[in-house]
A and B are shown apart, each in its own frame.
Chain A
Amino acid sequence: MSLQADQTTIQAILAGDMQAYTTLVNTYKDGAVMLAYNILLNREDAEEAAQDAFVSVYTSLHTFRAASRFSTWLYRIVLNTALNKKKIKKRVTARLTEVPPGELPADFGSAYTTGITADQRKHIQQAMRALNERERICVTLYYLNELSVEEIHELTGISRSNVKVLLHRGRKNLYQSFNILFKEEVTDLI
């Protein structure tokens, strides 16, 4: 959604148009879930965190100043919500419900089907899981949420040079993992 379209939609929501909020949620829901998932590494928690973030966005939309893109503002809320959720979860349940690295739930990826196989999806997710949290957040924001280095810096507070380093390291680690995990399959995908 363009900057102008975002502004128009936000004005409509502030004027009480609920349908406009549905449009906004539909536009950004995938990006929000992707980001939350790459922090929480659990589908249900990611959905819940993204929903919480959208509710927060609705209640505080009047404070949005349009100094940055709406998506940057939204993803900051998603990021904070997911990180808080992760902190609380860690404190409360320790490691009881966490999925061990390399082992994914049986219904993994069942909610969304594209041209790729479940196995390939599993491999891509495993490669993402192999990154450390900061690398994963930067890679997600850059590649999946399509934010610039400047916006990632603004959103996370990580310095611009550090964002570039994390992206470089993340990219390198992903290529390595892809080579190990599905050497032949990756060439089919691209």
Chain B
Amino acid sequence: MEKDQQLKEILLQGSERASIHFTDAVMERVHKLSATPYFYQPLVPPQVKKAFIIVWMSLVGAIFLTCFLLVSPQLPLGDWLTPQPVAGFVSDHGYTILAYIGCFWILFAANLLAEKMLGRRITF
């Protein structure tokens, strides 16, 4: 034990220490890091983004409306639209879509949990 202490003393005396400017150099780098903006520069101006959102919402609305019209034979439709039965579509693709949505949300929740607990994202 005493010999261990002696060895420690010798090694400590012979070891390299940080230079006198070490802390200043680290703090300078840390300050530079803090000054760097963490937000991303937007790719498009806010007005264009707003326009994109409106167009996107209109498209989604139009698709939903079209779907609604397609599955409602009671509604008066033009010749260009033929009503489709819902049951056929659901039995063909419904479970696939549901499984896809389910998997997506399970993985998304797992990722959030892992990020919170481990501090990193899981990439698949």
A residues in contact (CB < 8 Å) with B: 18, 21-22, 25-26, 29-30, 32-34, 37-38, 43, 46-47, 50-51, 54-55, 58-60, 62-63, 109, 111-112, 114-116, 120-121, 123-125, 128, 139, 143-144, 171, 174-175, 178, 186, 189-190
Contact across chains for A121 and B14 when beta carbons are under 8 A apart: yes
- Residues of B near A43 (CB, < 8 A) are 16
- Docked pose: A178 CA to B6 CA in angstroms: 12
- Residues of A near B9 (CB, < 8 A) are 189-190
- Docked pose: A50 CA to B26 CA in angstroms: 9
B16 contact from A34, A54, A123, A189, Cβ within 8 A: A34
Chain A to chain B: the 5 pairs with minimum beta-carbon distance, closest first: A124-B14, A63-B119, A29-B18, A37-B16, A112-B17
Measured CB to CB, the closest approach of chain A to B14, in angstroms, equals 3
A30 contact from B14, B18, B29, Cβ within 8 A: B18
CB proximity to A under 8 Å, residues B28-59: 29-31, 33-34
Chain B interface main SS type: helix
- Residues of A near B12 (CB, < 8 A) are 143-144
- Docked pose: A60 CA to B120 CA in angstroms: 11
Contact with A along B1-29 (1 / 0, CB 8 A): 00010111111111111111011011101
Chain A interface main SS type: helix
A51 with B22, Cβ < 8 A, contacts A22-B27, A115-B13, A124-B13 known = yes
A112 with B11, Cβ < 8 A, contacts A29-B22, A29-B23, A58-B30 known = no
A25 with B23, Cβ < 8 A, contacts A55-B29, A55-B30 known = yes
- Residues of A near B119 (CB, < 8 A) are 60, 62-63
Cβ contacts A to B, 21 pairs, < 8 Å: A18-B34, A25-B22, A25-B26, A26-B23, A29-B18, A29-B22, A37-B15, A43-B16, A46-B16, A47-B19, A51-B25, A51-B29, A62-B119, A124-B13, A128-B14, A143-B7, A143-B11, A144-B8, A144-B11, A178-B10, A190-B10
- Docked pose: A2 CA to B22 CA in angstroms: 23
Contact across chains for A112 and B16 when beta carbons are under 8 A apart: yes
Measured CB to CB, the closest approach of chain B to A147, in angstroms, equals 12
Measured CB to CB, the closest approach of chain A to B16, in angstroms, equals 4
Q: Which residue in chain A gives the minimum CB-CB distance to B10? A: A189
Contact across chains for B16 and A18 when beta carbons are under 8 A apart: no
Measured CB to CB, the closest approach of chain A to B5, in angstroms, equals 9
- Docked pose: A77 CA to B34 CA in angstroms: 20
